[in-house]
Structure 1
Amino acid sequence: MGQAVRRLRRGRGLTLRDLAGRLGVSAATMSGIENGKTGLSSERVSHIAAALDVSVERLFETSYDDPGDRAETSPSAPVVGEQVLPDGHWRDFPPLELNAALTGALSSFLEFGYHGANMRTIAERAGLSVPGLYHHYASKQEMLVALLDIAMTDLRTHTEAARGEGSDAVERFSNIVECLALFHTHRRELAFVGASEMRSLVPEERKRVAALRMEEQRIVDVEVEDGARSGAFRTTRPHEAARAVVTMCTALAQWFRHEGTASAERVAEQYVGFALDLVKCEVRGVPPTVGDGA
């Protein structure tokens, strides 16, 4: 049942939190339902069916005939980026557990670019036959969209948790910048494809993903504006400063290497200092930066 709910939800473009909101339950409860850790009463099954605009019978179907259900290589494949983070864990970025098809697609897009990659190469890297790959994804476009959705959901989950731990604009801003830097280093490959292949999305998907990216930018905008209003930040151009900070962090995916002289955590610490300098922070809630970069 949980697997069917997950596939239908993803097929309708809903996040775990979206569906949880429709049902009036927590994201943790919704995650438990989808992972088979939370039992379902007949009443809740009916509510889920109504929220997904399907019949109760549809929830009991296990076929992958619905085009929206082709998003996973196997029923047990993990959904990355929809986890509910425990307090204090927004700094944690464990290795991605992409399904085989998306692992092959990510590898191919990194080496050949979206337009240079083809379904045969992706299938080979995924350890699948070409017909087997088409069973789960109808096109390269579907795989690119899936990868970008995973990236944006993972980033938003971590960003919201980081912001939630801040007690004022300075602390929230510092946490968010640290989170952005950690994401673009620990998730460097995914972030690189997300940034470089936006142009390869079909227009409707490009518009949708661009809106998600703007929402992420707006999170930073709000904290810089709040800090400027309170006098904690002396910048007279908060809008431009916020965009400069985000651009600085997203550029990490272009050059950071884990085998370099500085760890992702050290780079993130330095970038918090750079960001506080950009907004002309008067009161710092983090230690000053030390050293000359990676």
Structure 2
Amino acid sequence: MDRRNEPTSPAGEPGSDWRVFEPLELTPILAAALEVFQENGFHGATVRDISRRVGLTVPSLYYHHESKEGIFAALLDLGTGEAAWRVRAAADAAPGRVDLQFVNVIQAIVLHMAHRRQLATLDNELRHLSPENRQHYAERRKEVENVLSGIVETGAREGIFTPKEPAETARALLGMCQAIVRWYRPDGPLTPDELAERYVDIALMTVGLSRRPGPRPPRRRKARVA
């Protein structure tokens, strides 16, 4: 029995702030598994290692998750689900302003990679997933790509952005942001917010904007003629 929907970290309640990252709240099994996967990789981790760390017998662990892959897939599902809702919320926060949507979405992706680095690094182990689980993960990951691609394509169509290949540009930007987990360290010189600001500047230059977009000035009312 695979209970991947057991309560875990915040799943993005309506009205949640996409910029705020509360401490990650995992079930004891998933918390222990994340540690073991981080230390040993998927191939080196065993169900016995995870059960010993969480203080359960192996049969008890199998009651909650049917296999090591099931545990791994649950963690991936959590990470991709959180990334997806944050990106959607970031885009929705700037209706009618594709330039500000772009800034928000890049910030959301970078902040997720920095704050949820442990979950995001599991992406490197995808080869161990079954085709069914890999397809599910690809679909969730595609949600983020579609939001970013849609914004870049709209901006190019409206003449705000200048890339010749908007969809390819969006994929390149997404790859750039996802690579953060390979080198970023929480105890390094950059905070997540500082990192996001730098990546926004790089992303803006990539789509042809040299300056950070600001809010539109308020419309002036026409004076009535007496």
Give the aligned partner of residue 40 of structure 1. none
Runs of 4+ in 1 over 6 A off after TM superposition: none
Give the aligned partner of residue 35 of structure 1. none
Deviation at 1:283, TM superposition (A): 6.2
Give the aligned partner of residue 53 of structure 1. none
Kept in 2: contact 1:184–1:250 (CA 8 A): yes
Deviation at 1:284, TM superposition (A): 3.2
Name the SS for the 1:258 alignment partner: coil
Which amino acid letter does the alignment assign opposite residue 94 of structure 1? E
Give the 5 Å matches for 1:266-281. 266-281=194-209
Deviation at 1:280, TM superposition (A): 0.8
Give the aligned partner of residue 87 of structure 2. 159
Kept in 1: contact 2:204–2:211 (CA 8 A): no
Deviation at 1:269, TM superposition (A): 0.9
Which amino acid letter does the alignment assign opposite residue 125 of structure 1? R
Kept in 1: contact 2:84–2:141 (CA 8 A): no
Kept in 1: contact 2:117–2:181 (CA 8 A): yes
Q: Does 1:175 align with 2:84?
A: no
Deviation at 1:81, TM superposition (A): 4.4
Kept in 2: contact 1:107–1:125 (CA 8 A): no
Name the SS for the 2:37 alignment partner: helix
Distance 1:99 1:132 in 2: 14
Among candidates 67, 74, 78, match of residue 7 of structure 2: 78
Among candidates 54, 60, 66, match of residue 126 of structure 1: 54
Give the aligned partner of residue 40 of structure 2. 112
Distance 1:215 1:263 in 2: 27
Greater relative contact order structure (CA < 8 Å, 6+ sep): 2
Kept in 2: contact 1:170–1:283 (CA 8 A): no
Give the 5 Å matches for 1:34-113. 67-68=1-2, 70-71=3-4, 78-86=7-15, 89-113=17-41
Which amino acid letter does the alignment assign opposite residue 184 of structure 1? M
Deviation at 1:80, TM superposition (A): 2.6
Give the 5 Å matches for 1:250-265. 250-265=178-193
Deviation at 1:123, TM superposition (A): 1.2
Q: Describe the shift of the 1:231–1:82 C-alpha distance in structure 2 as closer, same or farther (beyond 3 A).
A: same
Residues 205-226 of structure 1: CA deviation (Å, up to 9, x unaligned): 1112112212211111000001
Which amino acid letter does the alignment assign opposite residue 21 of structure 2? F
Name the SS for the 1:267 alignment partner: helix
Kept in 2: contact 1:80–1:97 (CA 8 A): yes
Q: Is 199-208 or 126-135 further displaced after alignment?
A: 126-135
The alignment's TM-score, normalised by the length of structure 1, stands at 0.69
Deviation at 1:132, TM superposition (A): 2.3
Name the SS for the 2:103 alignment partner: helix
Q: Does 1:199 align with 2:127?
A: yes
Give the aligned partner of residue 15 of structure 1. none
Deviation at 1:83, TM superposition (A): 2.8
Kept in 1: contact 2:84–2:143 (CA 8 A): no
The alignment's TM-score, normalised by the length of structure 2, stands at 0.89
Name the SS for the 2:23 alignment partner: coil
Kept in 2: contact 1:104–1:124 (CA 8 A): no
Aligned residues: 214
Deviation at 1:160, TM superposition (A): 1.1
Name the SS for the 1:113 alignment partner: helix
Is there any run of 5+ residues in structure 2 with no aligned partner, and where? Answer: 215-226
Which amino acid letter does the alignment assign opposite residue 71 of structure 2? M
Q: Describe the shift of the 1:223–1:157 C-alpha distance in structure 2 as closer, same or farther (beyond 3 A).
A: same
- RMSD (Å), alpha carbons: 1.8
Kept in 1: contact 2:92–2:101 (CA 8 A): yes
